[in-house]
Structure 1
Amino acid sequence: MAMVCGSYNLYASANCSITSDLGTCFMTSPLGATLEDSGCRFRVWAPHAEEVSVLLQTGSTWDSTETPTRVALKKDQAGYWNGFADGVGPGQLYRYEIKNNGTFERIDPAARDTIHSELTRSNRGSHNASIVVTNEPYPWSKFDTPRFTNFLIYQFHCGSFAGRNDHLDKEIATFQDIETKLSYIRDLGFNAIEPLPVQEFAHTRSWGYNPAAFFAPESAYGRPVDLQHFVEEAHRHGLAVIFDVVYNHAGPSDNVLWQFDGWSDHSQGKDGGIYFEGGKWTDWGRGPAWWKQEVQDYFFQNACMYFDHYNADGLRFDVTTQIDGNHLAKVLGKLKKAYPDKYFIAEHLPASPWITTFGNFDASWLAKSHHEMQRALNGQSPIEKVKMFLGWDGFAHPWNLVKYTMGSHDDVGDDKNGNAKDGLTNWDARHRYFIDQFGGRDNWHARAKCRLAWALNVAMPGTPMMFMGGECHMGSPTVAWGYWHDGHDNHGDHRFDWDIAGDPIGIEMRRLVAAVNHVRWANPALRSDTLIITHEDDTNQVIAFKRWQDGNLILTIVNMSDTNFKDHSYGVATDQQYGRWSQVLCTQDKTFGGWDGAGNAFHEPYTQSDGRVYINLPKWSVVMLRLQAESP
């Protein structure tokens, strides 16, 4: 991409000052290693260091017995060390040597590539090193980030999404491996993907929420150019890419920021050093020191990297409630000004309109869309539970909320041998695939409830999201247990199973997901800022609502009971005096796993004088009707 002074491109020439009406939003040079015509410029924050040098080596791994080339850096008034090394090009290995009550070596906190995640301080014999990466622009194809009303997201974990019972046959999937699955996702009707974090994390098997090096891609998945190629291929398939970033904590055992320049004030409990001093305590230990401008700048540069170097369409921020909101809002304000057409999502739980107003995000996850859906389908006041997540809860627009009735990675994933959140004894908090919460994929009612849940997810206001496996009733036929976690699987291999995705039960659900997603794309009403609940039947646990836009009107009827209404006997209040309707979807059609004649094929009923339309309404179903004519 072009590197223009005065823009927010942080990888512009080293002496370019980046300013805006927000004031000086950044330092004059990018962090890390920035290639120029004759060599490479280095910049690193180490305010307590007495001396800092760049150590340079050639080869594929760092050889501690070899004498490296040493280039001394100079410290500026802000505590940053700067220098230039002639003749350095892409692929050059480097480390920082820091003197501060001793001499030690560090990986660059802003290294855009590393050999692997093992850091120098955790293993003195480590062969790890930072790697200089080219800043030549990637030949991106034209791709327009979707409008915020138009995201339909498929969430997945890179390492486990390929390799089990497919032609790849490997334990850890790479970016290249995942490229072979992009057509599968697109054929389901999704237009955006959201991989779990892809930055370098400790070890090779992990969800990714234990970052070790924030700027480098996970080495088990591939190199920076592989990640660029992956984004390019996703765009060629019509899939936007939303990256998941973790700025509220770092890996507990191995992260590049911890005591980076050797300073630590143990007397004040500030044992994390410059990047953690005075940071919030989180569920995973001391969080980054967001109160410092330098730390804000660090994460701002990291976020910009995903857009400038990886052509991202959005970012999902992990657990924003564990970052000081004032400091986070400041950084998001700069990001929104820099990338106004990109979709910024917060995992802000519980969701509050604050995050999209003062907080400057575009959207928040809505966890209760899953939890209350699960309770509703368990018979716990179904209508009231659905109403709790049906609208957009005081937010300005429906797309301000990302909803996932069948669960995200957090809800499906499990640890503690299946007993996360005491799930073995507490069904309400159990982490499982949605199908396993209701009896498993061999249970007809469980499958029907999954079909209902996804159809409602797409029909109601909000940005729909599905976690991998929900589209094919992925689950555990013998042991009700969730998607794999960071540790060993005591209950077997819980990666995405392509045999399950392709079996008859899996194919039925895939047909349903594709059909529902198609209905969303074919009907702008389902992407509008509209909602009226037209019908509530507490006796039969039926609720109906309508949405509309530009002459397109969809009435969605949800039956959360075992009562099966035949012979067009169920009357649904439409809030319409007149109208002729045709069915656009019934989740109990035979092709999805239901039965012949379950819905209203070839039946185009009129609204009757009582304001109701009379239809077949199968048990545990969603039926969607489109208004064909306003008058007789």
Structure 2
Amino acid sequence: MEQINVLQRGIGVNFTDTGEASINIWAPEKQNVEVLVNDTNRIALHKTEIGYWQLVTDKIRPGDEYKLVLDDQQVFPDPASASQPRGPHKGSEAIDIAGYEWTDNTWENIPVKEYIIYELHTGTFSSEGTFEGIEKKLDYLKELGITAIEIMPMAQFSGARNWGYDGVYPFAVQNSYGGANALKKLINECHRKGLAVILDVVYNHLGPEGNYLSVFGPYFTNKYSTPWGSAINFDDAWCDGVRRYFIENVLMWFRDFHIDALRMDAVHAIKDFSPSHILEDMRKYVDELMVKSGQRHYLIIESDLNDTRFIDTVKNRGYGMDAQWTDEFHHSLRVATGQVQHGYYADFEGLPHLAKAYQDAYVYNGIYSTHRKKTFGNKTSRYPGWQFIVFSQNHDQVGNRMLGERTSQLVSFEMCKLMVAAVMVSPYIPLLFMGEEYSESNPFLYFVSHTDADLVEAVREGRKAEFSEFHEKGEAPDPQSEDTFNRSKLQWDLIELEPHATMLKYYRTLIQLRKSDSVFSSLERGGLETHVDEQREILILKRTVNNARRVCLMNFSKQIQNVRIDEDSSFWKIFDSAAPEWNGNSTASETLDRNLTIQPESILIYAG
């Protein structure tokens, strides 16, 4: 693969300092490529040796609509389009992707270990369903204690309603959300208020509608099968152009949009047996960009392989990812609260596995998995806590339920408080899913807005098949229905009502404790102990950092429990989820007595 210039985008249509359009289109097996500007002017491109068609011209200006004509007959939008104002099937808009009057020059990305992440979906987070709607809530998120927002994917997809994982133009910002400049404005404002921005991106597949990449070149390969069909071609013939396409995408978000971190969706579905894995190459180019720009950027992954190669350094023959989502903490926590052990939850044993997740991050770290029918995972002992992100809910774990029920609809008010506390006292990075902080009651359902009737029906049938593994009964809401989308929107008026107002105050207090306490703000994993009483459903977590010690007593049962603690009495109570101020009736001792009474579904925290 040819060397990539990290300081400017090198594919698609871009504008030079003199205002000319620099065009670079990858179509290695075509005999002729032209640009059709505003449906009137056709401009011929010149082919290079490695499959790119290029030209520098003054015949295209920002705001012009253009299409690409392949072999004098096929007309399609640009696969590297930076703007699709009329959706995925219409022409591309030429925009100056590097042009914006930023005012965040003094912004420095915060250390990843200080991230407290708030995951949100642009379309359902606000009544507007736009980037501007998010911007209006930034002060609220700051007051909550959030330090980084994570925006679910917004690469251009069909229609106006989608989770975002059906994007088909990785470089184009969804038009119905506001487009590129509205996103830049949001990021600029986040930085002004001290918030980092994480963008969820999808490099394991593209969506089904408006996906025209294969007509330009071998972007996909039949060497491997994925849940979405043929795999993206990262290691087969002509893969250099594909690899560059996605590396350029990573660099664009960091360089041209000032994104602080990328969360890469399901990297276990990326198939690449090249000597240098595509993630490793992304890491190398991002490192080069950081040296030249002086800015710091993080690469975060979602992976279910329990393979530390992903988060190990390139020097240690790893892929160099900074951190990863850790689903097994979530699964263990869910089962500990009484979640039915269907589907992948069948592999988890509740409190013993939650204790193991506190200790080891991966529950399956070289032990036999009944669900997978094999020994699975490897050890994480030498990896710091900030490389693991944990949560009690996220878009997948809510939205992939048939009825999209949030935790607040599945467990009691008290258990909700215990679950988030279990996340916040961990030695890992915490993530919240939008609305959980005030016990949002609306579901978060799966929704699409495809225009192809056959595709819509296929999505419906696919959802039914997915739920069969969980033995769900009844009918799933229609993902194509606009009502399904509207039912998933947050109800912001709830934060003024009870019990939502109390829950919101609880979250704020708990997050503040996490940030201000010397033990909980540390992601050191060494001084951590767990003790489990399965019969009484008690988990005791002890953490020690620099001689400061915290004892967390968690009662997952529905009964009052008496617990004997083997600690001296020089500990004092710093948090009680069952206190009267949180609508509880706890009378727990202010000091750590050897015999303590813990309210049902609650946590007590003592410091010493």
What TM-score, normalized to structure 1? 0.79
Where do residues 410-421 of structure 1 align in structure 2 (5 Å cutoff)?
A: 410-414=396-400, 418=402
- 1:319 partnered with 2:266: yes
Q: Establish whether residue 485 from structure 1 lines up as the match of residue 432 from structure 2.
A: no
In structure 1, the partner of 2:533 is 537
> Which of the numbers 77, 83, 94 marks the counterpart of 1:113?
83
| Corresponding position: 1:232 with 2:188 | yes
The residue matched to 2:309 in structure 1 has which SS? Answer: helix
1:139 to partner: Cα distance:
1.8
In structure 1, the residue corresponding to 2:183 is in which secondary structure? Answer: helix
Q: 1:333 to 1:279 in 2, by over 3 A?
A: farther
The answer to whether the Cα contact below 8 Å between 2:61 and 2:94 also exists between their aligned partners in 1 is no
2:119 corresponds to 1:155: yes
Deviation at 1:456, TM superposition (A): 0.7
The letter for the 1-side match of 2:112 is F
Is residue 122–residue 134 contact of structure 2 (8 Å, CA) maintained in 1?
Answer: yes
Query: Which amino acid counterpart does residue 432 of structure 1 have in structure 2?
Result: E
Which residue of structure 1 lines up, in the alignment, with residue 288 of structure 2? 338
What secondary structure is seen at the aligned counterpart in 1 of 2:503? helix
Q: Are 2:59 and 1:103 aligned? A: no
Query: Compared with structure 1, are the counterparts of its residues 243 and 617 closer, same or farther at alpha carbon in structure 2 (3 Å cutoff)?
Result: same
Q: Do 2:11 and 2:245's aligned partners in 1 also have CA atoms closer than 8 Å? A: no
Alignment-derived partner of residue 26 in structure 2: 45
Gaps of 5+ in 1: 1-5, 13-28, 58-63, 120-125, 164-169, 261-272, 420-430, 439-445, 606-611, 628-632
Amino acid in the other structure paired with 1:547: R
Amino acid at match of 1:354: R
SS at match of 1:96: strand
- Choose the corresponding residue for 1:432, options 390, 393, 405: 405
| Residue 447 of structure 1: how far off its partner (Å) | 1.0
Q: 2:422 aligns with which of 456, 461, 467?
A: 456
CA pair 204-368 structure 1, distance change in 2 beyond 3 A: same
CA–CA distance in structure 1, aligned partners of residues 417 and 5 of structure 2: 44
From 280, 298, 302, the counterpart of 2:249: 302
1:73, 1:82 within 8 Å by CA — same for their partners in 2?
A: yes
Report % sequence identity: 23
Distance of aligned partners of 1:96 and 1:501 in 2 relative to their CA distance in 1, 3 Å threshold:
same
Q: Which residue of 2 aligns with 1:138?
A: 101
Native 8 Å contact 1:90 1:134 kept in 2:
no
Q: Could you tell me how far 1:331 is from its partner in structure 2?
A: 2.4
- Structure 1 window deviating more from structure 2 (186-195 vs 388-397): it is 388-397
**TM superposition shift of 1:87:** 5.5
Write the distance in 2 (CA, Å) between the matches of 1:43 and 1:538.
62
Matched ranges for 1:368-517 at <5 A = 368-378=328-338, 382-391=350-359, 392-393=361-362, 394-395=379-380, 396-405=383-392, 407-414=393-400, 418=402, 431-438=404-411, 446-476=412-442, 482-486=444-448, 487=479, 488=481, 493-517=487-511
Q: Hey, what does 2:579 align to over in structure 1?
A: 589
Q: 1:1-26 deviations in whole A, cap 9, x for unaligned?
A: xxxxx9953417xxxxxxxxxxxxxx
Output one character per residue of 1:187-219: Cα deviation in whole Å (capped at 9) or x when no partner.
111111111101111111000000121101000
Query: Offset at 1:276?
Result: 1.0
**1:374 shift after superposition:** 1.3
Closer, same or farther in 2 for the Cα pair 1:52/1:286, shift >3 Å? same
Structure 2 counterpart of 1:436, which letter?
Answer: Q
Note the C-alpha offset of 1:160: 0.6
Q: Residue 330 of structure 1: CA displacement?
A: 3.0
The answer as to 2:44 corresponding to 1:72 is: yes
CA contact under 8 A between 1:435 and 1:474: conserved in structure 2? Answer: yes
Name 1:129's counterpart in structure 2.
Answer: 92
- Partners of 2:119 and 2:516 in 1: CA distance: 23
Q: Is the 8 A contact 1:484 1:493 kept in 2?
A: no
Q: Distance in 1 between matches of 2:223 and 2:420?
A: 39
Structure 2 match to 1:15: none
1:408-458 superposed Cα distances (whole Å, 9 cap, x missing partner): 10111147xx36xxxxxxxxxxx53112223xxxxxxx1111110100101
Amino acid at match of 1:399: W
Change (3 A) 1:136 1:499: closer
For residues 84-130 of structure 1, give each alpha carbon's deviation from its aligned partner in whole angstroms, at most 9, with x where no partner exists: 1116432222222211xx512221122211213232xxxxxx4x323
Counterpart CA distance in 1 for 2:391 and 2:67 is 43
Task: Tell me which amino acid in the other structure corresponds to 1:454.
Answer: V
Q: 1:109 to 1:489 in 2, by over 3 A?
A: closer
What are the Cα deviations for residues 120-145 of structure 1, in whole angstroms up to 9, with x where unaligned?
A: xxxxxx4x323222523532322221
Partner of residue 175, structure 1 = 131
Can you list the C-alpha shifts for 1:468-500, whole angstroms capped at 9, x where unaligned?
Answer: 121111225xxxx54353322667722111133
Query: Do residues 573 (structure 1) and 566 (structure 2) align?
Result: yes
Residue type matched to 2:394 in 1? Answer: S
- Note the 1:351-366 alignment, pairs <5 A: 351-357=306-312, 358-366=318-326
Aligned residue in 1 for 2:346:
none
SS at match of 1:205: coil
Corresponding residue for residue 11 of structure 1: 8
Q: Residues 145 and 553 of structure 1: is their aligned pair in 2 closer, same or farther, counting only changes over 3 Å? A: farther
Task: Please state if 1:559 is matched with 2:540.
Answer: no
Of residues 223, 229, 235 in structure 2, which corresponds to 1:285? 229
Q: CA deviation at 1:33?
A: 2.4
Query: In the TM superposition, what whole-angstrom CA distance separates every residue of 1:151-197 from its partner, at most 9, and x where no partner exists?
Result: 1111010001101xxxxxx5xx1111110111222211111111110
CA drift at 1:551: 4.5
Counterpart-to-counterpart distance in 1, 2:197 and 2:138: 11
TM-score (normalised: structure 2) = 0.81
Higher-Rg structure is 1
Counterparts in 2 of 1:319 and 1:7: CA distance versus 1, 3 Å: closer
- Counterpart-to-counterpart distance in 1, 2:11 and 2:246: 12
* Change beyond 3 A, Cα 1:69–1:231: same
Deviation at 1:301, TM superposition (A): 0.4
The gaps in structure 2 that reach 5 residues or longer are 291-295, 313-317, 342-348, 363-378, 449-478
Contact 1:350 1:367 in 2 (8 A): no
Kindly provide the amino acid, as one letter, of the partner of residue 409 in structure 1: H
**Structure 1's 371 and 621: CA in aligned 2 closer, same or farther, altered over 3 A?**
same
| 3-state SS of 1:517 partner | helix
* RMSD of aligned Cα (Å): 2.4
Q: State the 1:593 CA deviation.
A: 2.6
Give the SS at the match of 1:225: helix
- Separation in 2, partners of 1:290, 1:362: 21
CA distance in 2, matches of 1:489, 1:622: 40
Q: Show CA shifts across 1:51-108 (max 9, x none).
A: 1122222xxxxxx5xxx22221100000100001116432222222211xx5122211
Structure 1 pair 10/45, CA: closer, same or farther in 2 (3 Å)?
farther
Equivalent residues of 2:11, 2:25 under 8 A apart? no
Q: Which residue of 1 aligns with 2:55?
A: 83
Instruction: Provide the C-alpha distance between the structure 1 equivalents of 2:115 and 2:266, rounded to a whole number of angstroms.
Output: 21
Tell me the equivalent position of 2:158.
Answer: 202
Classify the secondary structure of the residue corresponding to 2:68: strand
Superimposed CA distance per residue, residues 273-307 of structure 1 (whole angstroms, 9 cap, x where no aligned partner): 52113363221222311111211110000011110
Q: 1:598/1:284 Cα in 2 relative to 1: closer, same or farther (>3 Å)?
A: farther
Contact 1:279/1:290 (8 A) holds in 2: no
Write the deviation string for residues 502-537 of structure 1: whole angstroms up to 9, x where unpaired: 321111111111111111111232222134225433
> 1:508–1:225: structure 2 CA closer, same or farther, 3 Å change rule?
same
SS at match of 2:543: strand
